[in-house]
């Protein structure tokens, strides 16, 4: 299976059956994300145990890429320390924005997001959840927009 097929299959699977969809009632962090260009909206809630993300959930409506990216992100960051999440954010951001960036083996399924680079207008769809996570962790305003 080539990377394009992997990209398509992973995106479709996570869009059809998003993981960690819902809300955490007793959340330690929360943020809202909005991509007005595509109409993506998401709400992200996080429960922490010290510096570790114990649980993370998202709700909202968005395009297939936005939903799949949020689903993939929640799987990837659950159980990780804040520093590791920041490192992962940087790797994904590079993967999405740098034309010659290679998918790092440590990215796992997140490597499928490299296909988004072929559709520059969709980069904001894929990165919205990551910026919203930063806000939920206290690294920015509680509402994020891609405008």
Model confidence, pTM = 0.92
27-84 confidence digits (pLDDT tens): 999 999 999 988 999 999 999 999 999 999 999 999 999 999 999 999 999 999 999 9
Domain range enclosing 130 = 3-145
**46/54 Cα distance (integer angstroms):** 8
**60/102 Cα distance (integer angstroms):** 30
**146/131 Cα distance (integer angstroms):** 9
Residues near 59 by beta carbon (within 8 Å), at least 6 away in sequence: 21, 22, 23, 42, 43
Choice between 70 and 117, residue whose per-residue pLDDT is larger: 70
Residue 115 CB burial class (10 angstroms; 0-12, 13-18, ≥19): buried
Domains in the chain: how many in total? Answer: 1
Q: What's the pLDDT score for residue 2?
A: 63
Residues near 107 by beta carbon (within 8 Å), at least 6 away in sequence: 76, 88, 91, 92, 95
> Tell me, what CATH number does 55's domain have?
3.90.1010.10
């Amino acid at each position: 299976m080539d990377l394009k097929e992997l990209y398509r299959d992973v995106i479709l699977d996570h869009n059809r059956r998003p993981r960690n969809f819902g809300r955490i009632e007793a959340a330690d962090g929360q943020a809202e994300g909005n991509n007005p260009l595509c109409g993506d909206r998401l709400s992200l809630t996080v429960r922490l145990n010290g510096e570790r993300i114990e649980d993370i959930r998202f709700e909202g409506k968005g395009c297939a890429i936005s939903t799949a990216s949020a689903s993939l992100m929640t799987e990837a960051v659950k159980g990780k320390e804040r520093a590791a999440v920041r490192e992962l954010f940087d790797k994904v951001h590079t993967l999405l924005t740098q034309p010659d960036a290679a998918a790092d083996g440590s990215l796992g399924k997140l490597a499928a997001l490299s296909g988004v680079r072929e559709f520059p207008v969709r980069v904001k769809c894929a990165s919205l959840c990551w910026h919203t996570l930063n806000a939920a962790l206290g690294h920015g305003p509680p509402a994020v927009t891609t405008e």
